[in-house]
Structure 1
Amino acid sequence: MTLAALVDAGVDPDQICAGIDSLGLPGVKLTFSSTMKGGFHATAVKIEHPEQHAHRHLSDIIQILKQSDRLTARQYELSLSLFSAIAAAEAKVHGSTIDKVHFHEVGAIDSIVDIVGVAIGFDLLGVDQIISSPVPTGYGQIKIDHGICTVPAPGTAEILKGIPLADIPIQAELTTPTGAAIIATLVDRFSMLPAMTIEEIGYGAGTKNFPERANLLRIFVGELVTSSNTDYVTLLETNLDDITPEVIGYTKQKLMEAGALDVYSAAIQMKKDRPAVMLSVICQPAEAERLEAILFQETETLGIRRHVLQRSIRPRQPHAVKTVWGEVAGKLSLTAGHQSVFTPEYESCAQLAA
């Protein structure tokens, strides 16, 4: 569905087919066609290949990728990243290693074509940023090589760790290991449709039919309305009136060590004029659940407010400056007028001063 949506959004199908042909897979044919799904026009993809029974390891996949004389370095790296994400998940689920685990459905020829085609397609699309809405998994049970299991399948669930999910009440497998790997590997951030000027829309058709909704994957391509120097963060807040200052300090330290971008507290007055502290945590959206768990555990709070905020950020990078006293570590950032500003790290200065 992703591959079909990319072509429907304007990616050249001939270049994708040429890349697939360069893999040297005998008897493989990739075709794209127009179709109707739930009353909507979309693109469908069909992969024809000989019957096969082989299970492949990651090393076998790498050998297939290396046979190509057409894949660009980026297309090769994207393909390898997608397969590696699936291999890592399968190894974790089956108690094996990345090198030893063998692919089941994903090692099949049609899945290899699908994954490499997606890597070529996103490279040809040439976008700076990929944003995804929360991911629907569906529910129910499916039959895989290891027997019957609950949706999402174990490998899919492992790949989707840290990714926001959507509750779509359809009894079917809506996200496969391949789809999960595409999301986990390529997506920069998760949100609903951002403020943007839409240039192209691609619809990729799935094979199943659902009675109440079209089985389509939709891709929007366009320009963000906001500056590229912005991102989204999650703000967690809780009011505390029944713990000691030492616990607040310890919790702050633990949150920072766990990956919070910032943690701060402010004195507040709660109902009945009780003095209290509001503890606030800024973090990446994917880290919100994990940091909430720390707040619940360490403070025993009964509720945490969650806000999604957009922030403007300066482009910056680590930098060091040599002085007569020694090297000072810090950050180099750019102002709106593209002037470089160096901000030294206090700890580095303190070390030299000592």
Structure 2
Amino acid sequence: MPRVLYFDCFAGASGDMVLGALLDAGLPLPELERALGSLMIPGYRLAADRVLRSGLSATKFRLIEGEHQPAEPAASEGAAGVQQHAHPHGEDHHHHHPHQEAAPVAREERPEAHGHVGHAHRSLGEITTLIARSSLPDRARSRAIALFTRLAEAEAEIHQMPVSKVHLHEVGELDSIIDIVGAVFGLDWFGADQMLASPLNVGGGMVRSAHGVFPVPAPATAKLLIGVPVYSSGVQMETVTPTGALLVTGHATAYGPLPAMRVEHVGYGAGGRDVPGTPNVLRILVGRADDQAPAERVVVLECEIDDMNPQIFGPLMDRLYAAGALEVFFAAVQMKKNRPGTLLTVVGRPESREALAGIVFRETTTIGLRYQEMARACLSRETVLVDTPVGPVRVKVASRGGEVMNAAPEFEDCARLAAEHGLPIKTVQALATKAYLK
């Protein structure tokens, strides 16, 4: 069965939280040290300390200076061997995930405020050179460089400058580079065939960075989260940082609830502050996809409509999907008194029934509807990116028990590339299919 890794971002995500969760789930710290190679600087060391966040034991990854930097209080007495220390590297690793209250500004713990390790603001070329000197496997090294390139392109667009002129401020600091490169190695080390994520809790309030004070999510973070499901729990602090957004969106191929899987490892990566109420942690679950799990339960709502302006059906579908409907479709039917009508069918999760029914009653002319719960079986789905002669195309792959049943190029990608290159859409679809089958 395929190996699955799931990011549970209920309290957000940052680079050090991802690394902490991977170490907590079983990534050996010595392996991480070897992979980072010459990125390590004499006089600094890595540390993975056991801490408590709202009473939950988690691992806090830090980059600290000297040999005797005090760690946070351990999660419990007698936790011998829990604190892992590596060879020299860095000052107390206050990462930009403090989850501080916004009164009036939720300050990120960024270098200008808290003395990050390595104060140089590096360009993409300088960071690429650093990564090239690391001992990462070739695949992980390429992915790390691709992630920093994506970040530099986002910053260039935000600040209207060429990528070659971009200097990455907070994310160009040494400890942030360690976070990203180390997390890429750790995610590769687990060998997951598929990585998924929950919607990301981005927090709220204002955050201070090298360019000033901005609303949460910060501009670079918001840019990286385009097309990704996000929400705010209302907490007034930055809960998703640029490094966290970069790592999660750079690896996850789909977003949603925890998939059917047999969990083998669970890791909790701690943020910088212990916030009362909700643990300030990122949870990572690693295991095997479970195609034999019980079928998913859904609710199906139906009604027939014969007296409504047909222009309303389009906005009705949009609002039902926005409220969490899994499927919405219309079918022509012949109703009583031989009137032509429309059968509305809505499929959703059982807990969404009342909300979906409310939309149907509010937006249509029906005076009643029927519903029933039933089981639904689905193939396992993932999205892979393939390179074609005209550009990259996402391919949706459906499988069962590890056997691929269907593979379909994403229509929007094919339509966009066809328009850009003056080709028929079917030609681009054929190129994408050929690239996937290689």
Query: Do Structure 1 and Structure 2 share a fold, with TM-score over 0.5?
Result: yes
CA contact (8 A) 2:123 2:165 kept: yes
Unaligned stretches of 5+ residues in structure 2: 1-16, 65-89, 92-116, 294-301, 315-326, 347-362, 365-375, 385-397, 407-425, 428-438
SS of residue matched to 2:291: coil
Q: 1:38 aligns with which of 38, 41, 54?
A: 54
When the two chains are superposed, the root-mean-square deviation of aligned CA atoms in Å is 4.1
Question: Matched residue of 1:214: which SS?
Answer: coil
Residues 282-321 of structure 1: CA deviation (Å, up to 9, x unaligned): xxxxxxxxxxxxxxxxxxxx68xxxxx8743799x9xxxx
Q: Which residue, 4, 7, 20 being the options, matches 2:36?
A: 20
Determine if contact 2:379/2:399 at 8 Å carries over to the other structure: no
Change (3 A) 1:210 1:313: closer
Structural mapping, 1:1-354, within 5 Å = 1-23=17-39, 25-48=41-64, 49=90, 52-68=118-134, 70-226=135-291, 242-243=309-310, 266-268=331-333, 275-276=340-341, 311-312=378-379
CA shift, 1:47, in A, is 0.7
- Contact 1:134/1:164 (<8 A) preserved: yes
Q: Deviations over 1:85-110 (max 9, x none)?
A: 22122122111233322101000001
Correspondence for 1:231: none
* Partner AA of 1:166 in structure 2: Y
Mapped to 2, the partners of 1:95 and 1:132 lie a distance apart of 31
SS at match of 1:22: helix
CA contact (8 A) 2:304 2:344 kept: yes
Distance 1:313 1:103 in 2: 38
Rounded to whole Å, the distance in 1 between the matches of 2:143 and 2:213 is 31
**CA separation in 2, counterparts of 1:183 and 1:164?**
12
- CA distance change for structure 1 residues 192 and 59 in 2, over 3 Å: closer, same or farther? same
Alignment correspondent of 2:415: none
Check whether the contact 2:23–2:267 (CA below 8 A) recurs between aligned residues.
yes
Classify the secondary structure of the residue corresponding to 1:222: strand
* Amino acid in structure 2 at the alignment position of 1:3: L
> Are the structure 2 counterparts of residues 313 and 102 from structure 1 closer, same or farther at C-alpha, using a change threshold of 3 Å?
same
Task: Measure the CA separation in 2 of the matches of 1:277 and 1:133.
Answer: 35
CA contact (8 A) 1:130 1:188 kept: yes
Identity of aligned residues (%): 37
What one-letter code is carried by the residue in structure 1 that aligns with 2:201? P
Moved more, 22-31 or 133-142: 22-31
SS state at 1:173 partner: coil
8 Å contact kept, 2:217–2:240: yes
TM-score using structure 2 length: 0.56
Note if contact 1:85-1:185 (Cα within 8 Å) is conserved in structure 2.
no
SS at match of 1:138: coil
In the alignment, the residues of structure 1 paired with residue 212 and residue 303 of structure 2 have an alpha-carbon distance, to the nearest angstrom, of 45
SS for the counterpart of 1:127 is: coil
User: 1:312 is aligned with what amino acid?
Assistant: L
Secondary structure of the residue aligned to 2:287 is strand
Scaled by the length of structure 1, what TM-score is found? 0.68
Count, aligned residues: 283
Residues 230-254 of structure 1 show CA distances to partners (whole Å, capped at 9, x for unaligned) of: xxxxxxx99995358xx99xxxxxx
Q: Provide closer, same or farther for how the CA distance between residues 25 and 75 of structure 1 changes in structure 2, counting only shifts above 3 A.
A: farther
**Which structure 1 segments of 5+ residues have no match?**
229-236, 249-261, 282-301, 304-308, 318-332, 342-346, 349-354
Bigger shift: residues 184-193 or 32-41 = 32-41
The 1-side partners of 2:381 and 2:258 are apart by 24
User: What is the Cα deviation at residue 67 of structure 1?
Assistant: 1.6
Please state how far the C-alpha of 1:336 moved relative to its aligned partner. 9.2
Q: Give 1:122 deviation, angstroms.
A: 0.4
Q: 1:275 to 1:155 in 2, by over 3 A?
A: farther
Aligned to 1:284: none
In the alignment, the residues of structure 2 paired with residue 269 and residue 44 of structure 1 have an alpha-carbon distance, to the nearest angstrom, of: 64
SS at match of 2:332: strand
Shift of 1:28: 3.8
Q: Which stretch has the larger CA shift, 74-83 or 132-141?
A: 74-83
Amino acid at match of 1:63: T
Q: Is the 8 A contact 1:42 1:205 kept in 2?
A: yes
Q: Secondary structure at the match of 2:39?
A: coil
- Work out whether residues 204 and 234 of structure 2, in 8 Å CA contact, stay in contact via their aligned partners in 1: yes
- The higher-RCO structure (CA 8 Å, 6+ apart) is 2
Partner Cα distance (1:113, 1:336) in 2: 37
Aligned partners of 2:186, 2:178: CA distance in 1, in Å?
12
| Alpha-carbon distance, 1:278 to partner | 6.6
Partner of 1:294: none
Q: CA 1:272–1:197 in structure 2 vs 1: closer, same or farther (change >3 Å)? A: farther
